[in-house]
């Protein structure tokens, strides 16, 4: 590989000349050369599909399935006016058709937003609790931390199976006690939209709180411990220490963590597919998967709207958090 000695540099192999050419590139040229694999991979697997999805969303299949016609924004207009609802599985609608709980939970858009907001809210609270525990020094901390991280590393399909088995009508033991409390439907629980949504949110909280906890823990551990000594001398209680030192200092970290999780939560698909089904708990990703083999245009329009909503969420949170979020 080395080209330092005269003997080797006289060698005229292709490899040597490529190496010599590389040595003489400017920093900028070299940077872009090394980035080519990234560009190719992301171009083929992300950028091309994204553009193509947008292109597909502008076309609709004709009534006799023989040809596709350019309809412009037609798919989007129909999606938001309810014209596409007949193609969605299980009587799902895109926008809610009313403001009752049933109508709201029948709308793919509302279910996705409810799922994202509720699960991220509880994950942040529980993650904060877990992070405060892990921030302490105690014997066996390593093992407790491993135990708390494990749910995060569980494959989505196994997470789904666990909650399917817990609430299934045949073997699930948790349905009767929770049905007595009025939280779940007593029979056919996993086919009841409200109950299944509840279970899926709980399943997501179980799995992803640890992720929040780790991010918040990083924020906690960057706090200068001297601040607490000062607070102790000043006679501050534990609650005052938390409210006046810990919380303001970890707020930016929490902001980034919430941004990250919200984006992931909006994609929810696997847990719904394993615990219940897309016809019972409609999410946006579910609708894309359910329609993409038969109604490309509709499916592409939903996919693009999902991406746009995530984009808006990201922009909103970045605007709220300022530059810290990036």
Partner 1 sequence: MATPTDTQEQSSDGPLQRWTQSAIQNPDKVYRALFYAAMVFFLVTTLFPFYWLIVLAVTPEGNLLSGSFLPTVNLFGVSGTFPLPVPKGFNPGAFVTVFEQVPFHLYMLNSFALAVTTTVIVLFVASLAGYVFGRLRFPGRALLMLGILAISYFPPAAFVIPLFQAFAGNAPITIPFTSIPLFTPPRLLNTPGSMVLPFSALFMPLSIFILTTFYGQIPDGLEDAARVEGTTRLGALFRVIMPLSAPGVATAAVLTFIAVYNEYFFSSIMATSPEAAKWSPIVGGILSYQTQYTTQYNLMAAASIVGVLPVVILVIVAQERIVSGLTSGALKE
Which residues 6+ apart lie within 8 Å of 323 measured at CB? none
Q: Which is nearer to partner 1, 103 or 227 (CB)?
A: 227
Rounded to whole angstroms, the Cα distance separating 219 from 246 reads 9
Within positions 285 to 324, which residues make up the interface with partner 1, using CB under 8 A? 285, 288-289, 292, 296, 299-300, 302-304, 306-307, 310-311, 314
Q: Which is nearer to partner 1, 26 or 62 (CB)?
A: 26
How many Cβ atoms from other residues are within 10 Å of residue 68's Cβ?
A: 14
User: What is the pattern of x (binds partner 1, CB under 8 A) and - over residues 229-248?
Assistant: ---------x----------
Q: Is 2 in the site for partner 1 (CB under 8 A)?
A: yes
Q: What ranges in 222-242 are assigned the alpha helix state H?
A: 226-233, 238-241
Could you say which DSSP state residue 236 is in? -
- Per the structure block, which two tokens stand in for 95? 């926008």
State the nearest-atom distance from the C-beta of 105 to partner 1, in Å. 20
Which residue of 17, 50, 72, 232 would you call a contact of partner 1, by CB under 8 A?
50
Angle subtended at Cα 186 by Cα 181 and Cα 192, rounded to the nearest 5 degrees:
110
Which residue of 49, 72, 98, 316 would you call a contact of partner 1, by CB under 8 A?
49
CB 131 within 8 A of CB 220: yes
Rounded to whole angstroms, the Cα distance separating 128 from 123 reads 8
State the nearest-atom distance from the C-beta of 233 to partner 1, in Å. 16
Render 267-280 in DSSP notation, one character per residue.
T--HHHHHHS-TTT
Within positions 179 to 208, which residues make up the interface with partner 1, using CB under 8 A? 206
Q: Which is nearer to partner 1, 156 or 194 (CB)?
A: 156
| Phi and psi at residue 95, to the nearest 5° | -95, 155
Within positions 84 to 123, which residues make up the interface with partner 1, using CB under 8 A? none
Within positions 69 to 88, which residues make up the interface with partner 1, using CB under 8 A? none
State the nearest-atom distance from the C-beta of 193 to partner 1, in Å. 21
CB 57 within 8 A of CB 37: no
Rounded to whole angstroms, the Cα distance separating 58 from 69 reads 9
Size of the residue set binding partner 1 (CB under 8 A) = 99
Stretch that binds partner 1, among 59-67, 68-76, 115-123, 212-220 (CB under 8 A): 212-220
Rounded to whole angstroms, the Cα distance separating 107 from 101 reads 10
Q: Which is nearer to partner 1, 159 or 195 (CB)?
A: 159
Stretch that binds partner 1, among 59-67, 84-92, 138-146, 192-200 (CB under 8 A): 138-146
């Amino acid at each position: 590989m080395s080209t330092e000695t005269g003997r080797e540099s006289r060698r005229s192999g292709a490899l040597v000349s490529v190496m010599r050419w590389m040595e003489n590139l400017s920093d900028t040229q070299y940077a872009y050369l090394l980035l080519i694999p990234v560009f190719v991979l992301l171009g083929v697997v992300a950028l091309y599909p994204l553009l193509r999805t947008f292109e597909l969303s502008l076309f609709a299949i004709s009534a006799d399935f023989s040809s596709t016609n350019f309809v412009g924004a037609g798919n989007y207009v129909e999606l938001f006016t309810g014209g596409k609802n007949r193609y969605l599985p299980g009587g799902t609608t895109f926008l809610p058709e009313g403001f009752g709980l049933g109508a709201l939970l029948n709308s793919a858009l509302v279910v996705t937003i409810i799922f994202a907001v509720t699960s991220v809210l509880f994950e942040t609270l529980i993650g904060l609790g877990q992070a405060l525990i892990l921030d302490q020094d105690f014997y066996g901390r390593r093992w407790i931390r491993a135990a708390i991280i494990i749910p995060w590393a569980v494959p989505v399909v196994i997470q789904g199976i666990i909650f399917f088995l817990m609430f299934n009508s045949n073997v699930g033991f948790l349905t009767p006690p929770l049905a007595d409390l009025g939280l779940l439907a007593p029979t056919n629980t996993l086919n009841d939209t409200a109950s299944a949504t509840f279970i899926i949110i709980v399943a997501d909280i179980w799995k992803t709180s640890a992720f929040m906890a780790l991010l918040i823990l990083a924020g906690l551990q960057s706090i200068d411990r001297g601040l607490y000594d000062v607070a102790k001398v000043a006679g501050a209680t534990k609650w005052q220490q938390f409210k006046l030192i810990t919380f303001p200092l970890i707020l930016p970290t929490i902001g980034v963590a919430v941004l990250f999780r919200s984006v992931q939560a909006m994609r929810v698909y696997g847990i719904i597919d394993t615990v219940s089904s897309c016809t019972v708990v409609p999410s946006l990703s579910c609708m894309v998967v359910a329609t993409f083999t038969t109604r490309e245009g509709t499916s592409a329009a939903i996919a693009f709207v999902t991406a746009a909503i995530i984009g808006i969420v990201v922009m909103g949170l970045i605007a709220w958090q300022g530059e810290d979020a990036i």
